[in-house]
């Protein structure tokens, strides 16, 4: 499975934007970039995903580098409820029916009031 590299931890002030980086230099053409987050004492939840173009949804934005070797999850205005571990995951879409998620250790985001 293609690997991702994320910082272990980040801090951000409340109500400011947060940029969470992810490196995936060995990404293949069929890999989608997925982001999940895990709030304390909960199961992970889906945030956003993309292939080549930048993506926006109600939770966040995903900026993907032109060479696809890195991406950035953007939380436009962080709140205390965004404090969580954020996982960047490559999901191979070519193996239809077995598109498993391989989690790393993620980035622990702390929001400072």
Partner 1 sequence: EAGVAQSPRYKIIEKRQSVAFWCNPISGHATLYWYQQILGQGPKLLIQFQNNGVVDDSQLPKDRFSAERLKGVDSTLKIQPAKLEDSAVYLCASSHNRGRRVQYFGPGTRLLVL
Closest contact distance (angstroms) between CB of 25 and partner 1 is: 19
Task: For residue 53, state whether it binds partner 1 (rule: CB under 8 A).
Answer: no
Instruction: State the distance between the two ends of the chain, measured CA to CA, in whole angstroms.
Output: 38
Q: Nearer to partner 1 by C-beta: 76 or 100? A: 100
Task: For residue 11, state whether it binds partner 1 (rule: CB under 8 A).
Answer: no
Task: For residue 42, state whether it binds partner 1 (rule: CB under 8 A).
Answer: yes
Q: Taking CA 25 as the corner, what is the angle to CA 102 and CA 1, rounded to the nearest 5 degrees?
A: 25
Task: For residue 43, state whether it binds partner 1 (rule: CB under 8 A).
Answer: yes
Pairing of strands 107-112, 18-23: unpaired
Task: Calculate the dihedral angle through the C-alpha atoms of 80, 81, 87, 88, rounding to the nearest 10 degrees.
Answer: -80
Task: For residue 45, state whether it binds partner 1 (rule: CB under 8 A).
Answer: yes
Find the part of the chain contacting partner 1 (CB under 8 A) among 17-25, 59-67, 69-77, 97-105: 97-105
Burial of 51-86, coded b for 16+ CB within 10 Å and e otherwise, reads eeeebeeeebbbbbeeebebbbbebeebeeebbbbb
Closest contact distance (angstroms) between CB of 48 and partner 1 is: 10
Binding site for partner 1 (CB under 8 A): 36, 41-46, 49, 85, 87, 97-106
């Amino acid at each position: 499975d293609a690997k991702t590299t994320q910082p272990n931890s980040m801090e951000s002030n409340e109500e400011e934007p947060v940029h969470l980086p992810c490196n995936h230099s060995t990404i293949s053409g069929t890999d989608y970039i997925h982001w999940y987050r895990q709030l304390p004492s909960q199961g992970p939840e889906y945030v956003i995903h993309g292939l080549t173009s930048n993506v926006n949804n109600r939770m966040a934005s995903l900026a993907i580098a032109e060479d696809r070797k890195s991406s950035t999850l953007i939380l436009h205005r962080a709140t205390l409820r965004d404090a969580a571990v954020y996982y960047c995951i490559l999901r191979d879409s070519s193996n239809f029916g077995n598109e498993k998620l391989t989690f790393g250790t993620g980035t622990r985001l702390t929001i400072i009031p």
